[in-house]
Amino acid sequence: MFRQGDWVTIKYGEYQGSYGKVSGIHRDGSAMVIPYSKDGEPGSMISLDGSGLELIEPLMVNREELIKLVTAQVMYRDIATHVFPIFNIRAEQEYPLQAEDIAQALRNINRSKDPLGRFKEWFWLIQNIFYQDLDIERRYKEDTFSDAPETEDELFSTIFSLTEKLYWKLEERFVSREDSEKYIVRFDDDSHWDDSLLGSTNLEETAYKAVCEDIAGRVRTFEYNRERPREEWIYCLSQKRHIINSYENDEELKQASPAAKALYRECVRDLAEKNDTQAMKILAWGYLEGSPVYRQSFRQAEKHLQKLYRETGDPFAANALGCICYEGLAGKGEPEYEKAFRYFSYGALAGIDESIYHAGDMLIHGYGTVKNIDTGMNLIVDGYKDTMYRFSEGEFDNRFADYALAMGNICREDLILGMGIRDAYKFYLEAGFAIKKRMKAGGFFRDDITADRIQKALHEIREEYKPDRDKSVLRADFPIYISHIFEDKFPIRVTLGKSRNGPFLKMGRFRLIPGEEPKFLVTFPELSYVSLVSELTFRLEQVGVMKTPDSGETFLADGFTKNDHTNALEFYSGGECIAAVEAKWFVIDVTKEKMLMKMNGELV
């Protein structure tokens, strides 16, 4: 009579001569068997009666051999060279596996010539053969990553979970050696072992050794803490990482006890001294922006940002250093333009919007570098276009407000041919609109300063440009923004129709899949108006021609042109003119919120 877990030889059928594992027994006594190919791959389950199977007697090991297997002093092949399959093994008596046994096994494996091969063989054996015999099933709680295990069971669960995860990482994640797969061995406690792997010539071995070091450290600290009061406990590096990662946000950290905050600061300090990237970032940004644990200090921020940039080349650290130097925040309030430009250049090369904006502005005015107006303006203009597109797509936490402010300054200084004070006002309106959206979305460091600069620019240009703030109607002989709309690669939805208010032209971007209508930014400086819209509506006055398709008032167009002979606006689809309209005036009517008309603190 066969039992679940028995290994057998299959005696007939397509799997004749193959090995199989009994996974269960039917009521009629037949066995459910998983056949294995010669290369060890499992096949589909089959059912066979006892006559079709031959039991393979398990290899029995004594306690001494078991301990050697558990601690990887010997491998299975060392004691059973002629027995197959390798998982068909039984222990003569149970052995209470300890976390220290796993740590010792990894130390022994690490001394061999082929640590990775031996590790995979050892772990697969422990996991499959001794799962019940070694009492793993009861004690192993998946994904238990205690920062300070207080019992042997907690430690064992953590150690075994780490070991299992390492095995599967090595099996699955190293199949591909693409760049994206180099960020590996990042388990559920968010340990940063992957930082040490970049540039490694042997990623598998580096990852394996990192986990070995982690496990050994957890065991050592557990043994040290076992007989000591909690206030005297120590933590290994991975436990310190676990402690600082246990706070998901500043609010959780703010609610922590004084003792917990002190432990957090200690862990961050110790990790930063060992150049741990996450800890260095916590110190740098904590001192730069202020946090529940670190009081804002630009001097300290500069020190830690310099170390972070020096050790990691982090472009965001370079950008932050550029801001500190540009504003003179760490010294006596005097700007350090040369240093600022150098840091902004590093950030700009990495594509950071703020760095590009500052580098362009400094090139235009010659701050900290040789004055180069053309190069500076190219950076600003390109950045403006890119961030405006992303802003229109709903990415409000980008640097569009800064670029729009810079564009306004350029126009105000008459640096762009054909653009002047009206265009400057347009860009300032966009900057004011964008900074409000950005601050509402969470904002950036020192957005209040940026908002003040935009407000000052708006106030000054209104004194010079003197717009009619109450005006809400704009007449033009050509539909404004039509070219912007047709820049989209998709067809444009057009409606030519009539309402109680008279004939109208409506245009909007067309979306092929259901969802929110794509928007674009429209700004009318004559009306002191800026908004994100999904469609534009023009009221038509003195209409001479209005031709619509046979299909109705609404149609899709992929292009337009103005007929020089008839003066009509013609819409095309597939190269064929399908509609046309000729009017004396295309009229924009905007409805302004009352709050936007106030001067006190409003940015429009």
Euclidean distance between CA atoms 541 and 160, whole angstroms: 78
Task: Classify each residue of 26-42 as buried b or exposed e, where b means 16 or more C-beta atoms within 10 Å of its C-beta.
Answer: eeeebbbbebbeeeeee
CB distance 243 to 147 below 8 Å: yes
pLDDT in tens, 140-156: 776 677 778 888 888 98
**Interval 79-85 mean pLDDT:** 73
Question: Per-residue confidence at 181, pLDDT binned at 50, 70, 90?
Answer: very low
DSSP code of 175? Answer: S
* Longest Cα separation, the chain: 103
Share of the chain above pLDDT 70, in %: 89
Comparing 599 with 7, which gets the higher pLDDT?
A: 7
- Side chain identity at residue 384, one-letter code: Y
Place of tokens 């791959």: 41
Euclidean distance between CA atoms 533 and 535, whole angstroms: 6
Counting Cβ atoms within 10 Å, is residue 274 exposed (0-12), middle (13-18) or buried (19+)? exposed
Which of 109-113, 303-307, 595-599 has the highest average model confidence (pLDDT)? 303-307
**Encoded tokens for 555:** 């149609």
pLDDT at position 512 over 50: yes
- Side chain identity at residue 211, one-letter code: V
The answer for 35, left when phi > 0, alpha when psi is -120 to 50, beta otherwise, is beta
pLDDT at position 324 over 70: yes
pLDDT in tens, 235-252: 988 889 889 988 988 999
Q: Can you say how many angstroms the Cα of residue 414 is from the centroid of all Cα atoms in its chain? A: 40
Euclidean distance between CA atoms 604 and 418, whole angstroms: 24
**Interval 415-419 mean pLDDT:** 88
Q: Where are the alpha helices (DSSP H) in 277-336?
A: 277-289, 298-312, 315-327
Q: Can you say how many angstroms the Cα of residue 474 is from the centroid of all Cα atoms in its chain? A: 44
Comparing 37 with 285, which gets the higher pLDDT?
A: 285
Question: Per-residue confidence at 1, pLDDT binned at 50, 70, 90?
Answer: confident
pLDDT in tens, 514-571: 666 778 899 999 999 999 988 899 999 999 989 999 889 999 999 999 998 888 999 9
Euclidean distance between CA atoms 50 and 215, whole angstroms: 46
CB distance 507 to 485 below 8 Å: yes
**Mean pLDDT for the chain?**
86
**Interval 115-140 mean pLDDT:** 79
